[in-house]
A and B are shown apart, each in its own frame.
Chain A
Amino acid sequence: AQSVTQPDIHITVSEGASLELRCNYSYGATPYLFWYVQSPGQGLQLLLKYFSGDTLVQGIKGFEAEFKRSQSSFNLRKPSVHWSDAAEYFCAVGADTDKLIFGTGTRLQVFP
């Protein structure tokens, strides 16, 4: 069965610092992979996706993620965090784009 793990429940970084949010998945083949961001009380916004091809994908708001098949990971990165990046981040995986499994999320707090 598919599963996705976000090991970090809560991460705190200083504004301007680099960021990496971890996502590990369990699936027999290469799944579809997504990162979403959710501000409090809001819906989810798609940051980026990986379907195939180049394993380093660029997204919106300066985020990128790298698919590493050998580690079953799809970690999200940003070189310099802004205060407005404070939110909850969800990784999602799926054998197809209809039935996604979401991680439990990582809450990012940014200190000035």
Chain B
Amino acid sequence: SQTIHQWPATLVQPVGSPLSLECTVEGTSNPNLYWYRQAAGRGLQLLFYSVGIGQISSEVPQNLSASRPQDRQFILSSKKLLLSDSGFYLCAWSRLADSQYFGPGTRLLVL
């Protein structure tokens, strides 16, 4: 069966510091991968998605970037965090034209 991992689970970072969140999927090959942000009291906002290694689509302009160095690895990064980057970050995977399955999430607090 497929599993999806995210780390760290929780992160507290100062404003202006860099960020790297990692997501890995096991038990499948060539998945579509997604990064979402969930702000308090709001739904999920799609940030990036990837259909293959090195292929990244950005959905909203922002302070963040994503990379996919390996088939089942998806990384969310920032060079300088802003207070507004605080939130709950969720990674998801899917097979072509099928449902998305979510990881446990990373809670980021920028102080």
Interface positions of A (Cβ within 8 A of B): 34, 36, 41-46, 49, 90, 92, 96-100, 102-105
The secondary-structure label for the interface of chain B is: strand
**Chain A residue contacts of B92, Cβ below 8 A:** 44
Across the interface, do A98 and B43 meet the contact criterion of CB distance under 8 Å?
no
When the two chains form the complex, which single residue of A41, A42, A46 contacts B101, counting CB atoms closer than 8 Å?
A: A46
**Tier of interface size on chain B:** 20 to 34
Provided the pairs A90-B44, A103-B43, A104-B41 are in contact, do residues A98 and B99 lie with their beta carbons within 8 angstroms? no
Within residues 43 to 91 of chain B, which ones have a CB less than 8 A from any CB in chain A? Answer: 43-46, 49, 51, 59, 90
12 interchain pairs, CB-CB under 8 A: A42-B104, A43-B6, A43-B102, A43-B104, A46-B99, A90-B43, A97-B99, A98-B32, A98-B51, A100-B46, A100-B100, A105-B43
